[in-house]
Amino acid sequence: MESASSNLEPDRQVKRPAWHGMEVADVEQRLETSLETGLSSREAATRQARFGPNTLREAKPRSSWLILGAQFADVMIIVLLVAAIVAGLLGEPEDTAAILAIVILNAIIGFVQEYRAQRALALLRQLSAHRARVIRDGKVGSIPTMELVPGDIVIIEAGNSIPADLRVGEAIQLRIDEAMLTGESVPVEKHLGPVDSNQHLVLGDRKSMAFKGTTVSYGRGRGIVVATGMGTELGQIAELLEKRVEVKTPLQRRLAQLGRYLAIAALAICAVIFVVGVQRGEPVVRMFLTAVSLAVAAIPEALPAVVTITLALGARKMLRARTLVRRLPAVETLGSVTYVCSDKTGTLTENKMRLTSVYAAGARTASIENHGGEPWNMLYTALALSNDAARDSQGKTTGDPTEVALLEAAAAAGFDKLNLVGRLPRAREFAFDSNRKRMTTVHRFTDGFLLFAKGAPEAILSRCVATLGPEGEQPINAAKIASVADQMASEGLRVLAVAYRKLKQVDSNLTETSAESSLILLGLVGLIDPPRAEAREAVRICQHAGITPVMITRDHPATARAIAGSLGIATPEAQVVNGADLARMTPEELDSHVQRVRVYARVDPAQKVRIVEALQKRGEFVAMTGDGVNDAPALKLADIGVAMGRGGTDVARDAADLVLLDDNFATIVAAVKEGRHIFDNIRKFVKFILASNSAEVWTIFLAPLLGLPVPLLPIHILWTNLVTDGLPGLALAVEPAEANVMTRPPRPPKESLFAHGLWQQMIWVGLMIAGLSLSSQAYAIRVGSEHWQTIVFSVLTLSQMANVMAVRSETESLFRIGLFSNLPLLGAVLVTVGLQMLVIYLPAFQKIFKTAALSATELVFILLLCSLVFFAVEFEKWMVRRGWLYGPMRAL
């Protein structure tokens, strides 16, 4: 017998077996595995080493050397290097050395920025990987899909994404959507039997196979992994499409466009400065170096990289807050959310159901103990058997929370599932779906078959012809029972109806419609899923932030109203729109109601799309949660799709922008807060960097027009750009969130980055710093100071440090937020000031930078002059707080 490894040798020259044409037993034998026990951990590790990870090959990230080399490929850097060579040839070795040193420092900073961004993004991709349920060593466990190997046994259920190419080994009404591979929109029903063994049989006809990347639409089953990674059918397609695609966020694209505009403007200004300087008699080489240096300083080439770092680091911070960001643009758009449409179960509630009320035999009781006789015996048998939850020998129950609660209630009443399954094995099942709103199982017993159905009261009652009581079957009073269900739901209970019927025989012709008819009602059960303790506060924060929370649930309207009232989402008397009402509404009617509705009940997942569309048509920015296969269209359509990490399906996670690792509504609110915080910090960085760069341009540009000599040497310009754009600018990325971040309205999604005074401040602060620099130059020259150039150089550099401390908040004073609330920024400012002092006072640097030691009086004069920038920006914020500038403050 060939080994599993040789059978799946990933060499494309080797003819792969036609797995679809083989019996399941032959596949097991060939891959040396078993559907019951799977591989051993040791064998799985051996195969992992041989076949590698189960991932599609991606373009390799750029190596460190390539990243470093790219820092010297920029046009402006090349021009600067040419300038250094020219300076050396013309007998200016100090200028050559200084320019080269600064180019290298710039390259190091750029390298660190891109390397960190690449690492952060790689980590996010790794964290967003899916997991698969497998059988190894005879036990069911969960592993990352990348660890799957040929021969693994994978358990698949509705909503799962198929993690590798599988030979189907067990199929219970298993249907798989293969549209992404075949283009066929109708899910394909899978079976165990072999099909045509033709190696080239089209994928759509391989009914015994499940292919990587497709999704389970219905049913469940098991599969044997026969191919992984690039050896899968999806991998063969990916091999044809391999291409590196750089995806930039909308903000990055806007900033890149801004950079191009600034570059054009800077080059034009530099050309003017060069021409005017030469005409005034300045040395041609010196003016050339000045113009080139100014162009380098004026262009904010670091902006896109800094934005990537800020977004990636923000995403990692959100991960610590239990939110996985799958798409970086979501981080920058979170601040625009105006509506959060949230599922109730597990998100607003604990998702820990408890059965607390039973209606049977015409009476309601809070006791779950067995009262003896019928309908109690049959009711608790139904709760235990019509149930996919499982209870192990240690008493631990796993599965859907509702089914866990029903199973535990049956066990408490003395009806253990393990014992019942031996006597009443399951023969058929019709899984729950959102259209039927019920689940049905058929069990074999001595006299035929027992059918149990459970689901929404209206879905079960409409199929019942009688009810079971102590005296046997009796006519059903559907109206009375529906009234009891409404009463239970109004108390916040989730209500399920349970029914049964006897069948003489079950064959392949039995359908859902024929099976779920002529049912006999056993009773109603009421379950409570308590609201999360933190959800009410999260709802309050949302409302204060101008965000409207909306609850969407499949529960009864009365249950939905009770839960929404307890959370503060809606008043107890608020209008609740149910799925039937929604179906009858015309688009125009829904448009007119949608902004007033806070609770939707009995809503089909497909109807979420209508809700999203209606809100977006009214100009709202919508975040929508979801966990099921049918939620995927709404998650894709929503401005921010939010999937559940614990209970969600792979399909929902793939469609979402964010994944909540704890399925908690409060985590959504925390993510919105962090999104607003991140965007604020990007704005602060842009405000600071553009004001700084414009100050340098204005200083050089205006000096000749005012009759002053060129105030700075090329080395001064490059140094100022290096120390001010570097550490202080990056430290703004970790500025703490402002106090009002969640008490102001959402930011309109199309609002310009330059709204609320950013462009005005960029201009006036840049002009002010330039004005102070030129004023200090004029004054120093008038009093005959030999240090005038050092004074201008220091004023220009230190004024930018004063500005960066002031722009830490858009509205609050530095004295209010505290000098020590951002220690990295304070440290960066102190380091920059210290470096400037070294340049001024250290003889070795004096020679390179053509500086001279300043007197104590001159240094104090410079510091006082620079402080004017700080106080001017503080005065601007004081006027903004009073609404005298830039209009009312919105989200930034």
Residues of the chain with CATH 1.20.1110.10: 297-317+672-881
- Residues 6 or more apart whose CB falls under 8 angstroms from that of 734 comprise 681, 822, 824, 825
Give yes or no for residue 134 having a pLDDT over 90. yes
Task: Tell me the two tokens of residue 33.
Answer: 């595995």
CA distances to 378, 415, 443, 446, 449 from 423, in Å: 14, 12, 9, 9, 12
pLDDT tens by residue, 809-839: 988 999 999 999 999 999 999 999 999 999 9
- The arrangement of secondary structure in 4-58+129-232, i.e. its CATH architecture, is Distorted Sandwich (2.70)
- Mean predicted lDDT score pLDDT of the chain: 83
Nearest to 211 by CA among 186, 251, 182, 191: 182
The whole-number pLDDT of residue 11 equals: 40
B/e letters for 644-664, b = 16+ CB within 10 Å, e = fewer, are bbebbbbbbbbbbbbbbbebb
Task: Tell me the two tokens of residue 32.
Answer: 């040396």
Residue 277 near residue 711, CB atoms below 8 Å:
no
pLDDT tens by residue, 628-660: 666 778 888 899 989 887 766 666 777 788 888
Helix (H) or strand (E) holding 445: strand 438-445
726 CB-contact burial (10 Å; exposed 0-12 / middle 13-18 / buried 19+): buried
| 74 catalytically annotated | no
The whole-number pLDDT of residue 247 equals: 47
User: How many whole angstroms separate alpha carbon 359 and alpha carbon 320?
Assistant: 45
Residues of the chain with CATH 3.40.50.1000: 323-349+532-663
Mean pLDDT on 62-83: 66
Give yes or no for residue 3 having a pLDDT over 60. no
41 pairs with which residues across the strands? none
Go through the chain and tell me how many residues it has: 892
Q: What's domain 297-317+672-881's superfamily in CATH?
A: Calcium-transporting ATPase, transmembrane domain (1.20.1110.10)
Give yes or no for residue 180 having a pLDDT over 50. yes
Q: Where are the alpha helices (DSSP H) in 534-664?
A: 535-544, 557-567, 579-584, 587-593, 607-617, 632-637, 650-655
Topology (CATH level 3) of domain 323-349+532-663: Rossmann fold (3.40.50)
Hey, is 625 helix, strand or coil?
Answer: strand
Helix axes 665-705, 250-279, angle to 10 degrees: 10
Residue 442 near residue 428, CB atoms below 8 Å:
yes
pLDDT tens by residue, 429-450: 888 877 788 999 999 988 899 9
pLDDT band at 59 (very low <50, low <70, confident <90, very high): low
The whole-number pLDDT of residue 856 equals: 93
**What 8-state DSSP symbol labels residue 151?**
T
Residue where the block lists tokens 């070294």: 838
Residues of the chain with CATH 3.40.1110.10: 354-528
Residue 877 near residue 813, CB atoms below 8 Å:
yes
The whole-number pLDDT of residue 859 equals: 94
Catalytic residue among 165, 177, 343, 650: 343
Residue 556 near residue 494, CB atoms below 8 Å:
yes
- The arrangement of secondary structure in 354-528, i.e. its CATH architecture, is 3-Layer(aba) Sandwich (3.40)
Task: Provide, for the chain, the percentages of residues in helix, strand and coil under a 3-state DSSP scheme, each rounded to the nearest 5.
Answer: 50, 15, 35
pLDDT tens by residue, 380-412: 999 999 988 877 666 677 777 888 899 999 988
Strand 165-177 relative to strand 215-227, pairing: antiparallel
Helix axes 856-881, 758-782, angle to 10 degrees: 160
Strand 599-601 relative to strand 576-578, pairing: parallel
Residues of the chain with CATH 2.70.150.10: 4-58+129-232
The whole-number pLDDT of residue 340 equals: 94
- Identity of the amino acid at 164: A
Give yes or no for residue 1 having a pLDDT over 50. no
User: How many whole angstroms separate alpha carbon 455 and alpha carbon 6?
Assistant: 50
Give yes or no for residue 199 having a pLDDT over 90. no
Q: Which of 263-267, 763-767, 783-787, 858-862 has the lowest mean pLDDT?
A: 263-267
Residue 72: CB atoms within 10 Å: 15
